Amino acid sequence: MTRRGWLLLPAFGPAPAVFTLELRRAGAELSATLRNRSRTPQRYLHHRLIQPVTLNLKTAAGQTVAPVDRRANAKFDATPYRHLYQVLAPGASARLLRGALGPGSLEWGPFTWQDLPGGRYTVSAHFEHQSSQWVDDETGQTGAWPEMWRGILESAGLPLIF
């Protein structure tokens, strides 16, 4: 069917997700895994200081518990160098970050939660990928990756008890 020169196609639902983000717990360890759900290789940037996976920690009442971000006073190079981008094959996965649970504490990359009151919590992982810009660390030349995925991923929540 056409309308004013446009071809209208029936809707087949939303496009499949390019990536999914999974948060898992094994004993005292949490890990975030990025999975390529597309049929083509996909490029991404994850760096524990520049563009880390973050955690959303919430109390049983739904209140967000803010972490201490050790990057706040640190001096580090935040340049998105070309070599920091990785390629993930179709169907492949990559562990992005691991964290450790302790008595009343949680360590996650540059983020820490200390002296958490005992009780039930829910934690989910969050990954925001907004840039395709890069700098070549040898030549200083700048560029951008064409057709790079940009978006926000959120994992399912995991229950935690401290």
Report d(CA 50, CA 31) in Å as an integer. Answer: 18
CA neighbor of 44 nearest in space, from 89, 105, 108, 111 = 89
Q: What is the pLDDT of residue 147?
A: 83
Quote the distance between the C-alpha of residue 36 and its chain's center: 13
Encoded amino acid at 50, one letter: I
φ/ψ (deg, to 5) at 73: -110, 5
17-161, CATH topology level: Immunoglobulin-like (2.60.40)
- Quick: pLDDT tens for 90-134: 999 999 999 999 999 999 999 999 999 999 999 999 999 988 999
* pLDDT tens, residue by residue, 50-72: 888 999 999 999 999 999 998 87
Residues in CB range of 136: below 8 A, 6 or more apart: 81, 82, 142, 143
Domains of the chain: which residue ranges? 17-161
Token pair, residue 11, equals 């809707």
